Structure 1
Amino acid sequence: MKRIKVSDGTDILEVNLLDILNFLSLKENICWCLVWVEGFGNLRNHSIIEFEQEVNKSNTPKLIDLAGLIELSKEKLQFINLLLIGDENVQNIQTCYENQINIEPIVQYRIELLDSSYWLIETSDESFIKNILENFVNVEFEKY
């Protein structure tokens, strides 16, 4: 697993979730789970407060497919904090979620937005890292 930090060098981060998702190489094969979400704005089917509670207080993983993530990223909302994990094997996601164990050795993707300031991306997908490095200016490798 490698960890990279993506920012844009400004006070207001302009790199959004859709920007990140566009560079995935294994898009169709990955099952995703929303682990934590904080934000403000409007969702078509929920209030943001209801959605946060649905995700953050759930006893079961909030599984979502790529199409759902893309739709979510197009909503009129601003994420403040977001934690998303993904793997080809849904059992790996369930194990991480249910046992609250260290995520990075088990799942293929861990994408986290911190305080609307930067993205931390942990992955074993070398082509995803390469795509990010080639397409964003302020990217640096982080130590664990």
Structure 2
Amino acid sequence: MKAKGIRILDKINRVVSVKLQDILKEISNGNLLYWSILHFYGSGVLKNEKSIEVLEEEANKSEKGFFLTWDDLNELANDLWEIEDMLVIGSKKQEKIIRHKIDQDMYESCDIVIEMFDSCYWEVFSSDEALINRLATKFKHTIFLKPNFEK
């Protein structure tokens, strides 16, 4: 599957102004996908019985990451105060929700990849070109990307 990508660089006073929930709002078929957080470092207070530390450990160490539903992902996005690093993947096929050793495999097999880099910017890759175009329209400072493996 061909993935298109976008880097979102919107900032206010040199701080990323785009929240995870701002990106999630543009995903029209999120409830049809399986979701997992494969990497997380940040802060917040979770409404369920898990702590941020448990979320980090499960996301960062589990082979398949921290599984959650679309509704749970949206609720989590609202519970987080700060996201320094995060990798979220969504796929129509549950067997594709794994920790990929090569980014190319992740981009090709997952329907949506959302990543925050060092509190600096978001990158979103998706086989849904319309999603990438909606994000480009919604945010001011964006750069279209191709997965690194494309020439």
Quote the RMSD (CA, aligned, Å): 1.6
- Give TM-score, length-normalised by structure 2: 0.85
What displacement does 1:55 show? 1.5
For residue 49 of structure 1, what is the aligned residue in structure 2? 53
Local SS of the residue matching 1:55? helix
Does residue 63 of structure 1 match 2:71? no
Segment drifting more, 119-128 vs 6-15: 6-15
8 Å CA contact retained: 2:55, 2:66 = no
**Gap runs ≥5 in structure 1:** none
Segment drifting more, 45-54 vs 19-28: 45-54
What displacement does 1:76 show? 4.3
The 2-side partners of 1:24 and 1:76 are apart by 19
Does residue 90 of structure 1 match 2:91? no
**Gap runs ≥5 in structure 2:** none
8 Å CA contact retained: 1:25, 1:127 = no
What displacement does 1:54 show? 2.0
May I ask how many residue pairs the two structures share in their alignment? 141
8 Å CA contact retained: 1:83, 1:113 = yes
Taking the TM superposition and a 5 Å limit, the aligned residue runs for 1:1-144 are 1-10=3-12, 11-44=14-47, 45-94=49-98, 97=99, 100-101=101-102, 102-143=105-146, 144=148
The 2-side partners of 1:50 and 1:107 are apart by 25
Local SS of the residue matching 1:49? helix
Segment drifting more, 27-36 vs 100-109: 100-109
